[in-house]
Each structure stands twice: as C-alpha cells, then as structure tokens.
Structure 1
Amino acid sequence: MTNYDKIFNSSEISQEPLSPEEAVAAIAVVTAIADSSVEEADPEILASILWEFEIFEEYSEDELTEIVDRLIGIAEDEGLGALFNAASKALSEDLVLDGFAAGIIVLIDEEELVIPKQKQPYIKKLQQALELEDEEAHEIIQEVIAAFQEAEDFEDDDTLGVEDYSEGVYESPLGNFTVPIPVDPQQGGKVQSQEGVVGFSDDFGTLLRIDYYAIPPEQLEELESIELEEYFHSILVDKYVPQAILANVPNAEVKYTEYLQDTLGGAYFVLVDMPKGSTISQQENNGTSNRLDAYRGLLGFINAEFLYIVSSQRSFFKDEPPGSLEEEVEEIKERILEFVDTIEFT
C-alpha cells in the first residue's frame, strides 16, 4: 500500500451523518492528519482556517470548532478512510471544488505560497478521488494562492485603514450606509464583512445580514418599465434563495412571499423554511451536536440606486415548535423592519 491508500482506497465508511458543509470540513481534517497524527490536529486552528470559506460565514467560530472536533473524533475512532468516504458521499456537487480548496488551504506554505513538494502526491490523490480535471484543480490551487497573496498584501500596505468598531457602528466599504452594530461581543457577537455583504451574529442565534448591490444604469432604466414586485421576485426567489440558501440547505423551501407596496418605496418579503439550516446547534444527550431548524426572513428594497436584501434568522429548539406561519411571518418581518430603521443610508 502507498502512503495514502488507507485513505483513498479504503472500503470503510463512517455511519456518522455529515452535512455537505461538514463534508468540506472533513476533507480539511483528513488532509491535516494524513501525514501526521490525530493528536497533532488542532480543532481551533482548523476552524479558523475554514471560517474563511464563504459556506461557513454564518457559523460562529465556536460552532465550527465543535464540528471540527467531532470530525477529528471520527477519524480517531474509525480511521481517515472511513471519514473521507463519508465526506465524499455527503459532498454535494456544487461543493466539490470547496472540498478540494479545503485540502489545499491546509497544506499551502504561507511564506513561499506553494504546495510543499512532499505534499503534492497527496493533493494529486485528493484531486483524483474528487474526480477533478487537471485544469479545474490547477485553477483552485491558483485561487487559494491568490487569496493568500491578497491577504499578505493587505497586511503589508500601511495605507489601508483598519475598520474600527469600538464606537459600535459599521460603515459599508462603499460608503452607502452605516448601521449601529446590533450584537454584543460579550455574547459572542461577531461582524463578518466584505464588499457587498455584512453579517452580524452571536452565540444566541442572532443573525442579521445586509446584502447590497449597486444597480447598473441600464437596469435602472429597465426598472422604469417593469413592476417592482416582478423585479423583486426574480431577484429574491429566483436568484438569491437558490444561490445563498438552497446551495447550503438543499431542503430549504420558500413558504411565503409578500409585496409591501407602501414600505420603503416598495419592498418584497420572503420567508424561507430551513430544516437543519440554523447557524446554531443543539447538543444531544449522546454528545453529538445538530443544527437547529430555522426560518429565514428576507426583505428586498431599493435605496439610492442600491438593491438591499436584509435578512434575519429565527431558530427553533426541539422544545420550541414554531407558531403559525402568519405569526412567524409578522414577527420576523417586524424584526427586519426594526433593524432597517437603524440603518442610515447615504
């Protein structure tokens, strides 16, 4: 057997169920242990690496560390082959490239920005196991290297300002809005931001998110000739929900839509049912941790040539069934509107 046959030629498969996102994390865990030992795997370090992935942006660092710790436990109890096969089975088609990138990012030499020569055979085996073409694999490797290079350039550029949230206010990089930060660091409050989106979350299940897009001039002209309700439906239901929610929670379903003609100059509300799609988990009696069911409310509106999609999450613990759909719609809609009232548009 070659050094990696125990991983990629194993017939064992863990019976522990993995979500597609956990499958990506599992590949990172397998990669980290492949040339070392389970004892050397650090859950916190691996979680901090994975937290940079967009698919994990709605997890808290503690939740991600908990997931990684569980995956390391599976590797220790059942072997790397069993964990990799479970990950391969759970990995959705749209996350295969993320899985490969998770392996790359664990092995990259951050100083030289290359994959060390002794690690290249593993990467080739991983590529083959995930059935990626050479061109696809090369592109992912280059993207990971470019991301490291960009981060390094940022750290070395003294002209770049560092965002300061000490006064409790977030300002969009484009300068189109400011908003008081609605989460408390003492309760695990976090601000995750990049151009086009900012999310506020904490350890108690709070999730408030603002996605924003500058509307191109030609699209603004088109808006004059089409109904806003039709426009918002095409953006939120036909594009945003499939790309931002269904891609990560395949069983999610739009349960309610409403056009609010007299709100914010015309707004569109969507409620999405997300089974096992909450950003927080509940500990079971057997020690495992399962993500909670959740509703996600989305409110789309236009302000000063920007399209905004503001969202909020409502999680349900097992002993807390949801109310009627009408009650949940009104509660989540009100929470979003209260949050929007705190935003100062410029």
Structure 2
Amino acid sequence: MSKYDRIFNSEEVLEESLSPEEAVAAIAVVTAVADSSLENVDADFLVDILWGFEIFEEYSDDELLEIVDKLISLAEDEGVGTLFNTAYECLADELILDGFAAGVSVLVDEEELSIPQSKMTLLKNLQQGLEIEDEEAKEVINEVIDSFEELEEEDTDDEYEGVFEQFFEQEVYESPLGNFTVIIPVNLQQGGRVDSQEGAVSFSDDFGTLLRIDYYSLPSQEFVQIDAVGQEEYLRSILLNKYVPGAIAANVLDASVGYTEYLPDTLEGAYFALIDMPGGSTISKTQNNGTAVRLNAYRGLLAFIYRDFLYIVNSQRSFFDGETPGSIKEEAQEFKRKLLSFINTITFT
C-alpha cells in the first residue's frame, strides 16, 4: 500500500454532486493535499493556478476562492479520497484532461520549471486514477510546463525530454509472488544491480546505494498472534528479535541497535530501527597493503504489514573517509525520510 491508496483506491463519494468547475478545481485540491495536509493547503496558490484555465475565465478571484474553500472543507469533513471520487464522477469526458492539467500545475516547480522527481509517483497515481493514457498525459504535461515558461517551444521540448522519458519509461521490478511492483531505484546502465531471491530483492550500485525489500506471506494464524500482542509489539519483536539477529548481526558481529521508534500513523503502523554496523557496509575501501576493508555504515529498517504480507524495507548509509554521522536522532530522521520516499515508489497489489 502506498500513501496514495487512501485517495485513489477509495470507494466513497459525496452525497452531493459537484459542478464541472468544482470538479476540475477538486483535482487541484486533491493533488495539493496528497503530500501535505489540509491545514497546509495554500488556497490563494490554487486560485492562481485555476484562474489560467478557460473554464474559469469568467470567475473572479473571490468566486474561485469560495470554490476552493468549499472543496477544502468537503475534503476535511468527508475525506480526500471521497472528494477525488466525486470529482472524477462529475467530470465530463471533455474535462478529464483539464482536471489532470490542474493537478499537474500544482506539482510544477516554478523555479526549475519542471516536475520534481519526488512528485513522479503521485503524478503517475493521478494519471491512473483519471484513467488517462500515457500519450495524452504526456501531451498535457508538455502543455502545462510550456505555460509556466517563456522559452521557445523547441528549447522546452529538448529541456524536458529526459523528464518525460524518465516518467513513462522507468524500469520496474515485479515481485515473483505478484504482491508488489517497484520502480528500480538504481541506474542499470551505470552498473546498478538488482539481486532477487526468495522473499527479498535488493538494489545496489558502486556509489553506496543499498535499498532492500524483504517480504513474508503471513498465514491466518499469525494474525491471531498480532491481535493478541498488538501490532507495535509484534513488529518490534519480529524486527529486533528475529530480523536483526538473523539478517544483520549474524554477518556484522559488532552491529547494534542505535534507535527504535513505533510510527502509528505511518503505513497504518510501522516500526523503525536504526542499526550501527561498524565495518558492515556493502562498500569496501582498499588499504595501502591491498587489503579490502568494509566501511562503517548505518542501516535503517522499517517494518509494516499490508494485506497478507509483512514487509521490512532497508536503506544503508556508508561512511567514507572523513565522514562522521550526525546525532542519532538526526540520522534516524533522515533514514525515515529516505525509506518512506522509497516506499512511495512501491505499488502494492
């Protein structure tokens, strides 16, 4: 499950319908809140975005602000997924692409005149939620970015060609069990590696990247145990009493747990651990005598349950010569950010 499931996999709809204009505006509101919160939505920014659409050309700023405020209130009262479903139902066929364009406009970085890599997964989810074909989506993205810049069209096409290729042609790994797919986070043309075995897949390269997904099918009786001890205690025990000793400490003798935290609001409950691994990196350095010595490293782990599977996702940070870690809390915070960013590229099925 990605964090966007609550929006694009919801089945609820509002009791009241939306006007065509409100439906287009709702897509912008939904996109704005997907990676944020309703409290942080900038209504004035959304009004500026919507004002450039032909469908709103006869609306005043105050009228548009009234629409946006109404939609934010509906999302707060009824749920963002409910608002998205209702907007989609109320969008006439000829306005679907306008709705998508409104969402794309929200995601554009106005300084870089591009869509940040961190927003690509959200953009793909929005496209799929609106059932828009790749070619149509590509045309809309082109048009939106063109509207944000004043360069000549041929320069714009050259500048953003790589962005579109990355968005539509990303290589994807599919689990043999069919329980998830994930965008491969390393460049296979530059030596990136995908190592798959039963119940696990890891992605690595020569620059220190290591991202790994371990997954275990949970039998029905295991959920009885989870109910008995609680999800926090179950995940803590699995991670610290089984996974760390078996998968890490068995290979890195001096490995130790440096930080743990239960995250009740993340992935419907997740357990995080930071592991200190002296000499435990997957990257080595060669000493003067020619001997290869593995670098020191930290490993961040996040354990969570989705449907009938337990997942443990890993990320590594290696410390090269002269590098020293920050405080344990700073390192933990950065690991949590990296792990959740990676998990957002996973589509659970």
The question of 1:267 aligning with 2:300 is answered no
Instruction: Provide the residue aligned with 2:314 in structure 1.
Output: 311
**CA RMSD, Structure 1 to Structure 2 (Å):** 1.2
State how far apart, in whole Å, the 2-side matches of 1:286 and 1:222 are. 53
- Which structure 2 residue ranges, 5 or more long, are not aligned? 1-168
Q: Is the 8 A contact 2:194 2:203 kept in 1?
A: yes
**Residue pairs, 1:166-181, within 5 angstroms:** 168-181=171-184
Aligned to 2:33: none
Equivalent residues in 2 for 1:222-301, closer than 5 Å: 222-301=225-304
Equivalent-residue separation in structure 2 for 1:332 and 1:259 (angstroms): 14
Deviations 1:163-202 (A, max 9, x none): xxx9510000000000000001233200000220000000
Instruction: Provide the C-alpha distance between the structure 1 equivalents of 2:189 and 2:283, rounded to a whole number of angstroms.
Output: 17
Secondary structure of 1:224's aligned partner: helix
Percent identity for Structure 1 against Structure 2: 64
1:310 aligned counterpart, secondary structure? strand
- CA deviations on 1:52-89 (whole Å, 9 max, x unpaired) are xxxxxxxxxxxxxxxxxxxxxxxxxxxxxxxxxxxxxx
Compute the TM-score of the two structures, normalised by the length of structure 1: 0.51
Q: Paired residue for 2:343?
A: 340
**1:187 has 2:190 as partner:** yes
Q: Provide Cα deviations, 1:282-321, integer angstroms capped at 9, x if missing partner.
A: 2223333211000000000000110000000000012111
Matched residues in 1 for 2:185 and 2:283: separation? 18
Look up the SS of the partner of 1:225 in the other structure: helix
- The amino acid across from 2:187 in the alignment is D
Give distance in 1, aligned partners of 2:170 and 2:340: 23
1:327 pairs with 2:330? yes
Structure 2 CA distance for aligned equivalents of residues 275 and 333 of structure 1:
21
1:219 is paired with a residue whose SS is helix
Structure 1 stretches (4+) deviating beyond 6 angstroms? Answer: none
Counterpart code for 2:245? P
Tell me the CA shift for residue 336 of structure 1. 0.5
Is the CA contact 1:197–1:212 (under 8 Å) kept in the aligned structure 2? yes
Question: 1:232: Cα distance to partner?
Answer: 0.7
Letter in 2 for 1:229: E
For the residue of structure 1 that corresponds to 2:176, the secondary structure is coil
Q: Which residue of 2 aligns with 1:217?
A: 220
Question: Separation in 2 of the partners of 1:335 and 1:167?
Answer: 19
Residues 187 and 204, structure 1, Cα contact 8 Å, conserved in 2: no
Query: For the pair shown, which has the larger CA radius of gyration, 1 or 2?
Result: 2
C-alpha distance in 2 between matches for 1:258 and 1:243: 20
Structure 1 regions of 5+ residues with no counterpart?
1-165
SS class of match (1:255):
strand
Shift in Å at residue 327 of structure 1?
Answer: 1.1
- Structure-to-structure mapping, 1:148-159, within 5 angstroms: none
- Work out whether residues 174 and 195 of structure 1, in 8 Å CA contact, stay in contact via their aligned partners in 2: no
Amino acid at match of 2:298: Y
Q: Is the 8 Å Cα contact of residues 170 and 184 (structure 2) preserved in structure 1?
A: no
Q: Cα distance, 1:341 vs. partner?
A: 0.6
One-letter amino acid matched to 1:324: S
Contact 1:183 1:189 in 2 (8 A): yes
